[in-house]
Amino acid sequence: GRSPMDVMIVPVLPTALIPQVLTFFHDPRGSSHMGITRVIKAIKRYFWFPHLAQKVCEHIGTCHPCFRSQLRVSWKQDGVQRAAPPRPWHTVCADVVSISSPKGKVLLLTAVCLFSGWPEAYPLRSKSSKEISRALRQFNSRLGPFRILRTDGGREFCGDVEGYLQSIGATHSVTLPYSPVAAIEQLNRTLINKFRTAIYTPAWSLLTFCGVLDDILWGIRSTPSS
């Protein structure tokens, strides 16, 4: 990783290209609406231009979908529980969240890697342990098997899920229901807010629900958290 003292050399962006870059990182027509801090950090990875932070604030401040959904554009992560797993996708926390939209309610299995913060979400046909074990297999088929799954111990994480964990040699770590893992709670809130915003964008009518979900996840993954 980079040290705070490291120097990054990035090109100065021509004035004529600033609107295009701002729209790329926060597109009012898209479904991924990242907050001010995330967009500023993301742009600074690749470019610099005068009054960068001010222009980002002005750009997001005029985003009609964000305004309509009353989305707060500065998403703070104070109080995140800091775990120290040995490697990425070793310790994963998971939960089930319900997303409401004009198209109806959709259940998602959400998961966060406690090493890297990498988010995952997968649509569920039901809240059964069989369906959740199927979703966990999808995650692991792309990222490799985790070693610890942390949940609130709900019934949906018993049965078939326990059997699947045994088959891959993973451990089920249960947290108290009134003491959830902060990282997964933040991801759930973020997904709910992003879907509320996406309803007011052209992407909502152009993409399937899964397409919108992929767009939102891409936005979270590709912009640094505060």
For 143-175, how does the pLDDT look when each residue is reduced to its tens digit (9 = 90+)?
999 999 999 989 999 999 999 999 999 999 998
Examine the domain organization and report whether 20 and 96 are in the same domain. Answer: no
| CA atoms within 13 A of residue 51's CA, in its CB half-sphere | 7
Examine the domain organization and report whether 163 and 225 are in the same domain. Answer: yes
Q: Which of residues 75, 94, 121 is at a domain's end?
A: 75
Q: What pLDDT does residue 201 have? A: 87
Q: What pLDDT does residue 200 have? A: 86
Q: Which domain holds residue 101?
A: 77-199+208-226
Judge whether 1 lies within some domain: no
Least confident range from 9-18, 130-139, 171-180: namely 171-180
Examine the domain organization and report whether 18 and 33 are in the same domain. Answer: yes
Examine the domain organization and report whether 58 and 142 are in the same domain. Answer: no
Examine the domain organization and report whether 87 and 64 are in the same domain. Answer: no
Tens-digit pLDDT profile for residues 110-150: 999 988 889 999 999 999 999 999 999 999 999 999 999 99
- Residue 73 pLDDT exceeds 50: no
Examine the domain organization and report whether 63 and 138 are in the same domain. Answer: no
Q: Which of residues 33, 52, 75 is at a domain's end?
A: 75
User: Model's pTM, two decimal places?
Assistant: 0.67
Q: Which of residues 75, 99, 120 is at a domain's end?
A: 75
Amino acid at 148: I
Examine the domain organization and report whether 54 and 44 are in the same domain. Answer: yes
Q: What pLDDT does residue 151 have? A: 94
Judge whether 3 lies within some domain: no
Examine the domain organization and report whether 87 and 167 are in the same domain. Answer: yes
* Distance from C-alpha of 124 to C-alpha of 131, rounded to nearest angstrom: 7
- Residue 9 pLDDT exceeds 90: no
Tens-digit pLDDT profile for residues 88-112: 999 999 999 999 888 789 999 999 9
Tens-digit pLDDT profile for residues 19-48: 999 999 988 888 777 888 889 889 999 999
Mean predicted confidence (pLDDT) in 50-75: 72
Number of domains into which the chain is organized? 2
Examine the domain organization and report whether 50 and 109 are in the same domain. Answer: no
Examine the domain organization and report whether 115 and 35 are in the same domain. Answer: no
